Amino acid sequence: MKKISSLVTIAILAGVISVGVTVIASASEHPDWAYPVNPASTAVVQADAGLQHVPNSAVAFTRKQFTTIADPIPDWHPEEHPAMPDIVFKGRPPQVFSCGYCHLPTGAGRPENASIAGLPVAYFKQQMLAFRNGERPGSEPKRAPQTTMIAMAKAATDAEIDEAATYFATVKPVSYIKVVESEVVPKTIVAGWTLKRAPDGGTEPLGHRIIEMPEDFERFERRDSRTPYVAYVPVGSIKRGAEFVATGGGDKLRQCAVCHGPELRGLADVPRLAGRSPSYLMRQLYDIRSGLRTGGVSALMKPVVVNLSDEDMIAIVAYLGSLSP
Ligand code: HEC
Ligand code: HEC
């Protein structure tokens, strides 16, 4: 009797363990480099050293002004975008933070969020609904930029979303991302929800990853909309991605340009892909393939991604990131 019950116990334990393993496996499948999470203890309080500057800007801001999400955003280059509606510039704190804090006044965005300049208004609004309805949770529940975006979509009114969508649709997309093929990359840590060159330096093999980071972390921290980025991609991936995108990997129904436009700059309500952050694009392909990103008309994308390998996706986003927007 004892023997049987201990067998049962073992069986139950084994069941529990295998369930546990499955859960862990699916939670850690997503590529960490595309979903960086700040370590718990990176918040370093820095002294406010007075007015700060960035290149080619006549204005100056204090550290508090560019690190406080509830304040009006630092607009370093007011000449490069139209006048911002309040929701983009100031938000409506404490419920809604300014869209421009994360996406920048130009909508150029940053690797941890999304470039949203020039997106079709209908697509933009549909995605706000998708965030609101739990249809874009993202693969990494600890990624605060994503959970904050979801909170913003829930708190913003339809009128505010309308204003933001109309504003960003009029701004011309730009990209400051340089895509570089390399076998070796600088070692990185995570800070500001993005990858950052490790303070101790050093290099490591890239392997099957993309390492995208600001070239100048100070400008990134100051939220300079012209911060340059580098995205290291595997050797040969740009050409491989170009071939895949052009031929749909040998499947006409997957040819990206049919839906995303001849230069991949968007078509009707379908969003542009050219010149966007490879990390952002990877998260989208990955989340659509895993079934986490639904909503909108994402059902049209599902057959495109369902049979892609991670390597295919890396090559595709390396190529798309290398195009001018
Ligand atoms: C805390 C930072 C943050 C703020 C503030 C923020 N967003 Fe976002 N937003 C994000 C992130 C992160 C994503 C990308 C999520 C992902 O990787 O899937 C995103 C994505 C989006 C997208 C989807 C883009 C696409 O191509 O599908 C839209 C649209 C958007 N945001 C609009 C807004 C609007 C409008 C506001 C202001 C009301 C706003 N965001 C405020 C972080 C933010
Ligand atoms: C049959 C039409 C169709 C084809 C072919 C297609 N797409 Fe899409 N794609 C869409 C639609 C529609 C959306 C918007 C989905 C939504 O509403 O959520 C989209 C969204 C995306 C997104 C998310 C964009 C964003 O702003 O978040 C990416 C990335 C993407 N597609 C990549 C590709 C790539 C790469 C290819 C080719 C290998 C491709 N698509 C082929 C229709 C298509």
Q: Are 65 and 74 in contact (CB under 8 A)?
A: yes
Q: Measured from the CB, is residue 280 less than 6 Å from ligand 1?
A: yes
Percent of the residues in the chain that have a pLDDT greater than 70, as a whole number: 90
Q: How far is CA 95 from the centre of its chain?
A: 22
What is the whole-number distance in angstroms between the Cα of residue 50 and the centre of ligand 2?
45
State the pLDDT confidence band at 229, using cuts at 50, 70 and 90. Answer: very high
pLDDT(55) > 80: yes
As a whole number of angstroms, the distance between CA 72 and CA 86 comes to 9
Q: Are 177 and 233 in contact (CB under 8 A)?
A: no
Q: Measured from the CB, is residue 322 less than 6 Å from ligand 1?
A: no
* Matching residue, tokens 């392909």: 285
Q: How far is CA 110 from CA 2, 14, 156, 164, 252, in A?
A: 61, 44, 21, 17, 32
Q: What average pLDDT does the chain have?
A: 91
The pLDDT value recorded for residue 27 is 42
Mean per-residue pLDDT for 14-18?
36
pLDDT(22) > 50: no
What is the whole-number distance in angstroms between the Cα of residue 210 and the centre of ligand 2?
20
- 275-303 pLDDT, tens digit per residue, is 999 999 999 999 999 999 999 999 999 99
pLDDT(116) > 60: yes
pLDDT(114) > 50: yes
The pLDDT value recorded for residue 29 is 85
Flag the least confident range among 19-33, 35-49, 195-209: 19-33
String of b and e for 212-223 (b: at least 16 CB within 10 Å)? bbbeeeebbbbb
**Of 176, 51, 161, nearest to 99 (Cα)?**
161
What is the whole-number distance in angstroms between the Cα of residue 81 and the centre of ligand 2?
27
The pLDDT value recorded for residue 268 is 97
String of b and e for 130-145 (b: at least 16 CB within 10 Å)? bbbeebbbbbbeebeb
State the pLDDT confidence band at 42, using cuts at 50, 70 and 90. Answer: low
pLDDT(109) > 90: yes
Kindly list the protein residues whose Cβ atom lies closer than 6 A to any atom of ligand 2.
126, 245, 248, 254-256, 258-260, 270-271, 273, 281, 284-285, 295-298, 300-301, 304, 316
pLDDT(12) > 50: no
Atom of ligand 1 nearest to the CA of 69: 5
The pLDDT value recorded for residue 234 is 98
Q: Measured from the CB, is residue 296 less than 6 Å from ligand 1?
A: no
Residue of the CA atom closest to atom 33 of ligand 1: 99
